[in-house]
Structure 1
Amino acid sequence: MKKLSKFLPLLAILALVPLLASCSKISDYTLDLRSKLTGIPFTVSTYDYNGQKIDQIKAKSVHIETYKPMSKKTSDGDEQSKVIDVEYGGHQMIHVGSSLIANEGLKNYQDTFSKNVTIKNDQRSVPVLSIMYNNFRNDWASKGKVIMVRSQAGMPIAVYAGNSVRVSATDMPSTTKINVDGHRLFIYRCDYSIYDMSTVKTM
């Protein structure tokens, strides 16, 4: 019995491995690693101030990061430069200014969802507990979300939806990376709102 008790912690860890491997945070790390080693098959689109598409790149191997020759950091090590480097199939696009969305095979539901969303909710909650719960869920047990992306003028560009969505920061200013069901969505200089899918009433 004593011998068995020694192995209980190990057995508990092994039991948790499948759960942790499927969680949003682990999936996000995997996406980041894949982006650096092999690139991600992205459709990269840029938009003007009013949300009209300017250009588009479709490539099987894309990696996006700060353009190193223009990199400027604060004394705390935070990146200041908004110039980004889009590497695709051995080629390079240097970009700054206009809105940019890079998505890994995600469907745009803009025609399905209304441009305006009305949410009515009468449930009471304790905000401090709600914040802690939702932040934990974002990392480990995320749920269905609707992501509505707009241009800098507030014009609708795209709507994405997923059953498991994790939002995280990047080292680049004005950028957000989102894990949507194991696929990467990269948003640069866009307005956006992310709703719990269950609360979106207008479609």
Structure 2
Amino acid sequence: MKQSKKPFLLVLLVGAVFTLSGCQDVRMWFKGFEQSFKGLEMTIRTYDEESQVMDEISGKSIMIERDSEFDSDEERADSSVIRVTIGSKELHHVGSSMVIEEQGLENIFDDYAKTVDYQNIERGIPVLNAMVNQYKQSFTGKKKVVLIRSQNGTPLATYAGNKVSLYKTDVPKSTGLLIDGRYLFVYRCDYTVYDTDLFF
């Protein structure tokens, strides 16, 4: 008598879900899905060149996207205009530095408001180190500190986490970061992302 393959496939599927749920890339995909269909609870801040907050808006159902109405043509997705939906309202933004943080992220700027001066004399194999770092970027994230500056280089915010990964967005001159399961959107800012071990 032939045994059914259904129990085996079910076990395989459950195992795959548990394995992938720990994957940063999958978490980021779900974060994008949640943002599109439910919105994220976030705080939006724009900054001037001296890193002074010009405005701040918080909302419970926020979605960030590139406003394609301002693309040069249908072939080029090059609009730098951001459309942010806040509940049923929206705002458009272009130009100045903007940081949008999901609730639960903490700006720890004062803790890391210092110059990094680090020397490393350990030997390594660069190609292997790059492979390991890329694996961690996609699957586990790494302990990192994110130092964000205005466009003229004035420090404005700092974030840190145990599982940090960087992602491209569809908005030019922006980066999305997943920090311990929370989303951070950085637009028209200078930034440096350090392994936390470089500070200690």
User: Identity, % of aligned pairs?
Assistant: 35
Question: Do the aligned partners of 1:115 and 1:156 also contact (CA within 8 Å) in 2?
Answer: no
Output the TM-score relative to the length of structure 2.
0.90
Match of residue 132 from structure 2: 133
Tell me how far apart the structure 2 counterparts of residues 152 and 74 of structure 1 sit (CA, whole Å).
29
Q: Give the equivalent residue in structure 1 for 2:31.
A: 31
Secondary structure, aligned partner of 1:69: helix
Q: For 1:136 and 1:93, how far apart are their aligned partners in 2? A: 37
Aligned to 1:43: 43
Which residue of structure 2 lines up, in the alignment, with residue 121 of structure 1? Answer: 120
Aligned to 1:70: 70
**Secondary structure of 1:111's match?**
helix
Q: Which residue of 2 aligns with 1:167?
A: 166
Which residue of the partner structure matches residue 194 of structure 2? 195
How many residue pairs align between the two structures?
198
Structure 1 residue 102 and structure 2 residue 126: aligned?
no
1:179 aligns with 2:178: yes
In the TM superposition, structure 1's runs of 4+ consecutive aligned residues that sit over 6 Å from their partners are 2-10
User: Using the alignment, how far apart are the partners of 1:37 and 1:15 within structure 2?
Assistant: 27
Aligned pairs for 1:150-165 (under 5 A) are 150-165=149-164
CA RMSD of aligned residues (A): 2.2
C-alpha displacement at 1:14, in angstroms?
Answer: 3.6
For residues 134-177 of structure 1, give each alpha carbon's deviation from its aligned partner in whole angstroms, at most 9, with x where no partner exists: 11210112121111100001111100011111100011100100
Per-residue displacement from partner, 1:82-135 (whole Å, max 9, x unpaired)? 111011111111100000000012111111113311222111122222222211
- Which TM-score applies when normalising by structure 1? 0.89
Whether the aligned pair in 1 keeps the contact of 2:22 and 2:140 (CA below 8 Å) is: no
Q: Which residue of 1 aligns with 2:54?
A: 54
Any stretches of 5+ residues in structure 1 without a counterpart?
A: none
Give, in whole Å, the separation in 2 of the partners of 1:5 and 1:64: 43
Q: Which residue of 1 aligns with 2:142?
A: 143
